[in-house]
A = this chain, B = another copy of it.
Amino acid sequence: MERVGVVGLGTMGGAMAVNIARAGFPLVVWNRSPGRTGEFEALGIPVAGTPGVLAAAVDVVLVSVSDTPDVETVLFGPEGVATGAAPGTLVIDCSTIDPAAARGFAARLGEQGVEFVDAPVTGGSEGAKNATLAILVGGDPANVERAGPIFAAIGRTVTRFGPVGAGQAAKAVNQVVVAATYMGVAEGIVLAIKAGLNAEQVVEALSGGAAQSWVLTNRSHRMLANEYPPGFQVALHLKDLAIALALARASGAVLPVAALVSQLEAGLVALGHGSDDLSALARSIRALSGLDA
């Protein structure tokens, strides 16, 4: 079994690391803030001092951090993965970042013989915990095959969409579809409330037809209760929509609803709701409609 290093022990990366250890891979971890490493030390899993030290000790480095600049720092910073990785090391980036940046990172790592696949995921914190993530992959087929046993430890489905960057592009599509779906449910819930209907009854009745969606089933109740416990953060979806809209600009796609949703999300972040679950898009529609005033 290849030795694996996990860089980034947040909600997603931490759960992936646990599942990789459970699957029996020799594991080393690193996290920017040391607070998250105690759990791993308690399990006897070594904690590296820097990403570079981690990379020198393993065959495969899995990265799970927040945004493009974070990936750049852990890969190419003064103590980054690139300072320690031997030729032949494989970097699997599970962060959601710009597809063009992923291609740039792959090229830079390639100069020193280090391989790269982009492998953003969907399925949220539950998916990470239960190893049921959908993994959206871009990269050389040989590298994707090599990553297979690790993907099997952290997720349920693996789809290779093409060369490096293609996984990120597919993730961008996911976030665009999700944006409008949440908004439709938010608008529907608010209309139901304002029109004096029993909104729970409406959700129930509509769930069997063309309005059916994962969001309607799983997130409409949060919108109704106007409570958005941490889940998939608004601020992270806004970051992902920025990536999708940049990809749209670069490829010539026009996405009016995704652009509108990103504006509302920027407003939510500015009002201090950035760490709410994405269902907090209903906050915007509720506020525009004078609910909770």
Tell me how many residues of A have a C-beta within 8 Å of chain B: 70
A272 adjacent to chain B (CB < 8 Å): no
Cβ contact within 8 Å between A216 and B184: no
Contact residues in B for A253 (Cβ distance below 8 Å):
187, 190-191, 193-195, 285, 289
- Of chain B, the residue at the smallest CB distance from A133 is B209
A99 adjacent to chain B (CB < 8 Å): yes
Classify the secondary structure of A's interface with B: helix
A189-228 residues with Cβ-Cβ distance < 8 A to B are 190-198, 201-202, 204-206, 208-216, 218
Taking Cβ atoms with an 8 Å cutoff, the residues of A that contact B are 99, 122-124, 127, 134, 136, 156-157, 159, 161-162, 166, 169-170, 172-174, 176-181, 183-185, 187-188, 190-198, 201-202, 204-206, 208-216, 218, 232, 244, 247-248, 251-258, 260, 285, 288-290
Q: How many copies does the complex hold?
A: 2
Cβ contact within 8 Å between A244 and B211: no
Q: A104 vs B232: C-alpha distance in the bound complex, in angstroms?
A: 45
A-B residue pairs in contact (CB < 8 Å), sample of 9: A174-B209, A177-B211, A181-B184, A181-B213, A187-B255, A187-B258, A195-B247, A210-B232, A213-B215
